[in-house]
Amino acid sequence: MADAPTNQPSSRKLVVRNIGLLLSGDLARPVLDADTIVAEAGMITAVGHAQDVDTEDAPVVVDACGCAVAPGLIDSHVHPVFGDWTPRQNQLGWIDSCLHGGVTTMISAGEVHLPGRPKDILGVKALAITAQRAFDAFRPGGVKVLAGAPVLEKGMVESDFAELAAAGVTMLGEVGLGGVKEAGEAQRMVAWARKHGIRSTIHTGGPSIPGSGLIDADVVLAADADVIGHINGGHTALPDDQIRCLCERCSRAIELVHNGNFRSALVALRAATELGQLERVILGTDAPAGSGVQPLGVLRMIAQLASLGEVPAEIAFCFATGNTARIHGLSCGLIESGRTCDLVILDRAQHSAGRDLLESVALGDLPGIGMVIIDGIVRTHRSRNTPPAERAPVVVCKPAGGAL
């Protein structure tokens, strides 16, 4: 079985060998010419061919058995509350279930589903700080949940953002889910947040929960948040001309989500492609939501964009890994020395029409996940949610008496 969840990286040396395909997460070089990864203290220390890297004295050795390895997937848009429970669907274990879909990091867009969510300024700040502290200390299944994202309410002043930043809050919840929806007011608060090192995401499209409202292209452009949240709607999308306008007139991240309008996602992806700005595209689920929890939501977005969006599968994987890591300043998301050792080992699903992993994804099939590693620790073996993989990795070496 996997090691118990912890917020501490493994202190042991880890070697992953016999990798058949190594996806880097980097748009500039999405496939690496390498078959071995070495990690120590939860960080990647070497990537290369087995004969060229130091694999000696590793207490944990994973034989990938020819499978592909990718960076752990990052869900750029979730709405956690506390622990591994969502009151929106009254569901337990939803984060652990997403782990079995290859997600190793989640980014909160606001803890808005908390029953009785406070809307006074003191309560807003208290909730954000509490959520940040709670998820910093607790990782469901080992998944890193970056939480504590306050929703903007009327009356907030610059000192509120300074206080939040000093307390460790690093991001805002979706602008537009609270009382602040007017362009000038949103612009002012986003600028205060940015001044104090707090990143921002703005709701885009029609209302999603009671209290939210339409946020159109004019408001998004004026607010100038760091991420155009669910540009394909959460759930209702803007007209195509407004989506293209946002892609063309704004330089911020273009977020595509599972719980949105997929046709509109293709409109945004094609605009980003025509602009030569695929580095702006990131993926999320916008779950939990009224449509539920989607443990395979990020994988599904990768397969759908690769099969219908006219981008190579290896590029689509970058949308859910390296692109998101760069935009949010994360140490994960790329397979290179000095990065956090968060990995997904996967292969084409059994009986897929595709001849290999990338071709199967390009045909729209989900891959099978055989193992997930977070901070250098094996967290899962065969996924309980994906279709069974053609091949699966095995742990061939472990400490005497140690559990994996």
* 111-155 pLDDT, tens digit each: 999 999 999 999 999 999 999 999 999 999 999 999 999 999 999
Q: What is the pLDDT confidence band of residue 214, given thresholds at 50, 70 and 90?
A: confident
State residue 401's pLDDT score: 44
State residue 399's pLDDT score: 52
The predicted model gives 333-355 an average pLDDT of 98
The predicted model gives 268-272 an average pLDDT of 98
State residue 12's pLDDT score: 87
Judged against a pLDDT cut of 60, whether residue 402 lies above it is answered with no
Domains and CATH numbers, the chain: 14-71+334-397 (2.30.40.10), 73-295 (3.20.20.140)
Q: What is the pLDDT confidence band of residue 206, given thresholds at 50, 70 and 90?
A: confident
Q: What is the pLDDT confidence band of residue 5, given thresholds at 50, 70 and 90?
A: low
State residue 7's pLDDT score: 65
Of residues 350, 375, 354, the one with CA closest to residue 363: 354
The predicted model gives 20-35 an average pLDDT of 98
Lowest mean pLDDT among 7-11, 26-30, 84-88, 155-159: 7-11
The predicted model gives 238-265 an average pLDDT of 97
State residue 397's pLDDT score: 79
Judged against a pLDDT cut of 50, whether residue 3 lies above it is answered with no
State residue 207's pLDDT score: 80
Judged against a pLDDT cut of 70, whether residue 1 lies above it is answered with no
The predicted model gives 360-374 an average pLDDT of 98
Amino acid at 96: D
Q: b/e per residue, 332-363, with b = 16+ CB within 10 A?
A: bbbbbeebbbbbbbbbbbeebebebbbebbbb
